[in-house]
Amino acid sequence: MKDGRISLKGTPAELHTQSTLSRVLADAESAKEMPKEKTATKDRKGKSVEGILESSSDAFSKDGGATEDYLAKAVNDTKCEDEYNLERLQRVAQQKGLGSNSDLSTLQGILVRDEEREEGLIKIEVWRIYVSACGSKIFWIMLVLLLALWQAMRIAQNYWIKIWVNSNNSNTNRQTAYEPFLSGAYAIDTNTGNRLLSRHHSSIYWLGIYFLIGFMYIFGRAVHEGFIYRASIRAARTLHAHLLQAIMHATPRFFDSTPLGRIVSRFSHDMQVIDGPAIEKIMWGIAHVIEVLCAYTAISMVTPAFVMVAIAITPVYVGYAYYYLNVSRELKRLDSNNMSPLLSLFGELIQGASTIRAFGVKQHYIKEALNRITAHSRSYYMCEAAPRWLSVRAGFASATLSFSCAIFIIMNLDWIDAGLAGFAFANSLAIGDHMYWAISDYNANESNMNAVERVKQYLDIKQEAALESELEYKPPASWPTKGDVQIEDLVAEYVPGVPVLHGISLSVKHGEKIGVVGRTGAGKSTLSLALLRFVEASGGRIVLDGIDISKIGLEDLRRNVTIIPQDPVLFNGTIRFNLDPFNEYPDEIVWDALRRTHLVREHGSHSSSSAASISTGEDGIEAAEPLAVERMSGIFSSLDAEIKENGQSLSLGQRQLVALARALVRRSRLIIMDEATASVDFDTDDRIQRTIRGYEFADSTLFCIAHRLRTIIDYDRVLVLDKGKVAEFDTPYNLLQSKDGIFRSMCEKSGEYEYLVAASSRRDNNTV
C-alpha cells in the first residue's frame, strides 16, 4: 500500500523475484533509521511538542507547577508516542520549569522501553542485600577471622624459614656438640663449658615446625573455603527465591513492557555470577588487601626508608585503579545489557522458526542475530582487555618497588642479615602482584555486584495484592454460589492519572449471558482484567455475590473465576493435568467435560443430549457417573496423553475447546471469554456456542467479549462500551431498534445485518 492505493501485489515468491519486496523493506528500514533531529516533531493529531506545553502552560501555572499526572494526561490526549518527541517534551518541560522529576517514559505509548543501566559506584544498598543474603554478622566475623588465620600462617611460614636460615649462619662463641641418642644439637659456651639454649636444632625440628604451620594454613583455608561455599549457596538460594517471588507476583503491566530475554538473563547469567565467583572474589579481595598491608609493614620494619617509596608509589596505583575501575564497571554493565537482546532474539527465533521459513526471511534474522552477537562480543572483548591494560601498568609500579627495596637492602648490609634481606625482598616482589590482584578483585566485586544490582531492579518492581484473604474478609468455601455481579462506578487505569474505564456501573444477575462489544480501545479487555484484578480499580468497586472482590485475596478470587482468553494457555503435560492441574476431580468429571466440548463422543451416539448424569453424594458434592465414551484414536484417546508446551500438538480450535473443558471441570459461577472464538473457524465457534448455550453453563454468569457479533446476538444482554464508558446495555433485540445506536451501527457494518436481526428476534420471541 502507498498513499492509500495498492502499489504492489503478488505472491511473496513473485515479489522476491522482482526484488520489489526487498526494496520496500529496505526503504522502511531506512525511514525507521532516520536521524532523530530530522524526525517530524508532530504527533498524530498534528500537535507539536511545544504546542503541548504552550496549551498546557495556563493549567500548569494555576496548579502552581506541573505534576506527573498532568503531563501524563497531556501525552495521552495528544497521543505523542514517538520516543524522540517524548524526550523533547520532558526536556522542554523542565526548561520551562514545568516539572523536574516527570518520568514520561512511564506515561507514553512506548510499550517496551530500553533496559535501564545504572551508572557510577555500586550503591551501598546493593552490597547490603548481598551481604545479608550470605549470612548474619556473626557469620561474617567468623569468615574474616578464618581469613586472618590462614593469612597469618602463610606469613609465618616465610618468617620461620628466615629464622631457620639465621640459625645456621650465626657466629658466636659457641661450638656444637652432638650425642648419638639425640636427634638434635645443643650449644656449649667455649669459656665456661656450660650447655646453652640454642636455636641450633636438627632438620627434623625445623621441618616439623614448618609442616605444623603449613597444616594450620591448610586447615584454616579449608574451613574458610567451606564457609565461602555455604555462603555462596545461601546467597544464591535466597536471592533466587526473592527474585522468583517478585516475578511471580508482578503486575501484568510488567510482563507487557519487559521482554522475556531480560527476565531470563536475570535467572541465568546474573544468578550464575551470584552462585559462583561473587563471594569468593570478595574474600580474595580482602585477602589481597591484607597481604599488601602485611608486605608494606614487613619491608618497612627491615628497611624503614622504604616507607618513603611506598608513600610516593601508592598514588600511582590509586590513579590506575580509579581509571580502570570506572571504565571496567561501565563495560560490565554494557556487557550485561547487551546479553538480554541476544537472549530475547534467540527465544523469538525458536518460537517463530516456522513463520520465518514460510516468509523466506531467514537471511534477515541471521543478519540481526549476527549484529546482536557482534554487539555483545564487542563489549565482552573490552571487558577482557581492560585487566591486561591494568596488568602492564601495575607491573611497572611493582618493578619500581622491588628495585627500591633492593637498593635499601644493599645500603644497609652491615646490620641486615641474609634471612631478613630475603624476607624483605620476597615481599617486595610479591607486593606488585598483591596490588594488582587487590584492584582486580575489587573490580570483579563491582562487576559481580552488577548482577546483584540487576536482580535488585526486579526485586523492587510493583507487586500484585496479597494472595491470601485477611481473616475478616475470607469468603466462604462455597463462594460464589450464584454469580451475581454488581459493578459500581468502576475506574481502572494502567498509568496513574490516565483512566481507561470511566465510572462504569451495571448489574448482572446470576446465569445471565452478557456480550461485551465495542470499538478498539473501548475498554473491553480492561473490564475483563478488572474482574480478575489483573488491573486494580482506582475507583469504585466490583461486587460478586455480595463480596467486594478488592477486599479478598487474589487466590480466593481467581480460583473461583474462569477466563478463556483468545490464546488459551496450555502446559507441557498430560491432558488431565491441563484440565485439572491440582488433581481435585475424578476421571469421570474430566471425561464428561471432554465429551461436552465435543473432543470425545459418547459411545453409540453423537448427540449432546445424551449427557452423563450428575449425581449428588451424601457429602453434597456433585460427581459424574461413569460415562461410556468412545475414546477416539489420537491425542484424546487417554487422559495421560501428553500435550506439548503451548498446545503445539493441537489445532487452535482444539486448544480453545480444551480451555472450555477446563471451565466445565471447575464449574465456575463466573466465566469470562476474551474474544475466545475470534481466531477459530465457524465450525469450532459453533461447537463452543452450543456448549455455552446448553445446560452445562446454565447456572454460570458469562461475560463474552465478542469479535463476531453473531456469537452474542442471542445472549441475554449486550454491553456496548465506548471510550471507557457504558454506551448501551440492553437485550440485542432492543439495541437493534435504536436507529442511532452504536450496536446497530456495528451490525449494519458487519455484512450480516439481516441474519443478526432475525436471530435477535427469534431469541426475543423465545424469551417472551
Summarize pLDDT for 394-430 with one digit per residue, the tens. 888 888 888 888 888 888 877 777 777 887 888 888 8
Which residues on adjacent β-strands are paired with residue 705? 516, 674
Residue 141, pLDDT above cutoff 80: yes
Cell of 655: 486448544
163/50 same-domain check? no
DSSP string, 294-307: HHHHHHHHH-TTHH
Closest alpha carbon to 673 in 500, 486, 465, 531: 531
What's the pLDDT at 634? 55
pLDDT, tens digit, 9 for 90 and up, residues 13-57: 666 565 555 556 555 544 444 444 333 333 434 444 445 444 444
What's the pLDDT at 330? 82
Q: What is the side-by-side strand order in the sheet with 174-177?
A: 174-177, 186-189, 195-196
pLDDT, tens digit, 9 for 90 and up, residues 284-303: 888 888 888 888 888 888 88
The reply to whether 435 falls in a domain is yes
Residue 751, pLDDT above cutoff 90: no
Cell of 12: 511473496
Distances (CA, A) of 531 to 156, 165, 398, 568, 674: 72, 85, 69, 18, 12
Which of 73, 106, 139 marks a domain boundary? 106
102/21 same-domain check? no
Residue 613, pLDDT above cutoff 50: no
Contact indicator for 491, 537 with CB cutoff of 8 Å: yes
Query: Residue 747: CB partners within 8 Å, gap ≥ 6?
Result: 709, 736, 753, 756, 757
What's the pLDDT at 509? 92
Whole-angstrom Cα distance, residue 149 to residue 158?
15
What's the pLDDT at 27? 58
Read off φ and ψ for residue 348, nearest 5 degrees: -65, -40
Angle, CA 534 vertex, CA 533 and CA 539 arms, to 5°: 50
501/533 same-domain check? yes
pLDDT, tens digit, 9 for 90 and up, residues 113-132: 566 656 667 888 888 999 89
Closest alpha carbon to 664 in 572, 579, 555, 556: 579
| Exposed / middle / buried, residue 397 (Cβ in 10 Å: 0-12, 13-18, 19+) | middle
Going by pLDDT thresholds of 50, 70 and 90, the confidence category of residue 244 is very high
What's the pLDDT at 60? 40
What's the pLDDT at 541? 93
Which one is predicted more confidently, 669 or 416? 669
Q: Which domain holds residue 17?
A: 1-31
151/224 same-domain check? yes
Cell of 621: 458434592
Which of 429, 459, 489 marks a domain boundary? 459
Residue 111, pLDDT above cutoff 60: no
Note the Cα 405 to chain centre separation in Å: 53
Read off φ and ψ for residue 495, nearest 5 degrees: -120, 130
Average pLDDT over residues 487-493: 92
500/448 same-domain check? no
Which residues on adjacent β-strands are paired with residue 196? 187
Closest alpha carbon to 672 in 530, 554, 571, 466: 530
Angle, CA 234 vertex, CA 230 and CA 235 arms, to 5°: 120
713/755 same-domain check? yes
The reply to whether 307 falls in a domain is yes
Domain of residue 417, CATH code? 1.20.1560.10
pLDDT, tens digit, 9 for 90 and up, residues 437-462: 888 888 788 878 888 988 998 998 88
Whole-angstrom Cα distance, residue 510 to residue 482?
5
The reply to whether 582 falls in a domain is no
Say if residue 496 is preceded by a cis peptide, omega within 30 of 0. Answer: no
235/302 same-domain check? yes
429/501 same-domain check? no
Domain of residue 756, CATH code? 3.40.50.300
387/278 same-domain check? yes
Whole-angstrom Cα distance, residue 109 to residue 80?
8
Which of 43, 74, 106 marks a domain boundary? 106
Q: Say how many C-beta atoms besides its own lie within 10 A of residue 699's C-beta.
A: 13
What's the pLDDT at 21? 57
What's the pLDDT at 23? 59
Contact indicator for 607, 679 with CB cutoff of 8 Å: no
The reply to whether 632 falls in a domain is no
Q: Is 391 helix (H, G, I), strand (E, B) or coil?
A: helix
Whole-angstrom Cα distance, residue 436 to residue 433?
5
Distances (CA, A) of 17 to 2, 11, 356, 363, 524: 20, 10, 18, 16, 44
DSSP string, 570-624: --SEEHHHHH-TT--S-HHHHHHHHHHTTSSEETT---TTSPPPEEE-TTS-EEE
Q: Which amino acid is at 610?
A: S
By DSSP bridging, strand 547-548 and strand 622-624 are unpaired
What's the pLDDT at 121? 75
The reply to whether 660 falls in a domain is no
Residue 654, pLDDT above cutoff 80: yes
Whole-angstrom Cα distance, residue 513 to residue 516?
10
Average pLDDT, the chain: 76
Closest alpha carbon to 480 in 627, 669, 336, 340: 669
Whole-angstrom Cα distance, residue 110 to residue 126?
29
Q: Say how many C-beta atoms besides its own lie within 10 A of residue 400's C-beta.
A: 15
441/514 same-domain check? no
The reply to whether 148 falls in a domain is yes
Which residues on adjacent β-strands are paired with residue 485? 508, 544
The pTM of this model reads: 0.63
The reply to whether 160 falls in a domain is yes
Which residues on adjacent β-strands are paired with residue 601? 630
Whole-angstrom Cα distance, residue 273 to residue 280?
11
Query: Residue 276: CB partners within 8 Å, gap ≥ 6?
Result: 232
- Considering its fold, how many domains does the chain have in total? 4
Q: Say how many C-beta atoms besides its own lie within 10 A of residue 80's C-beta.
A: 26
Cell of 268: 541465568
19/64 same-domain check? no
Residue 68, pLDDT above cutoff 70: no
pLDDT, tens digit, 9 for 90 and up, residues 343-380: 888 888 888 888 898 888 999 999 999 999 998 898 88
162/260 same-domain check? yes
Average pLDDT over residues 558-563: 88
- Burial annotation 444-476 (CB, 10 A radius, 16+ → b, else e): bbbbbbbbbbbbbbbbeeeeeeeeebeeeeebe
Residue 105, pLDDT above cutoff 50: no
The reply to whether 624 falls in a domain is no
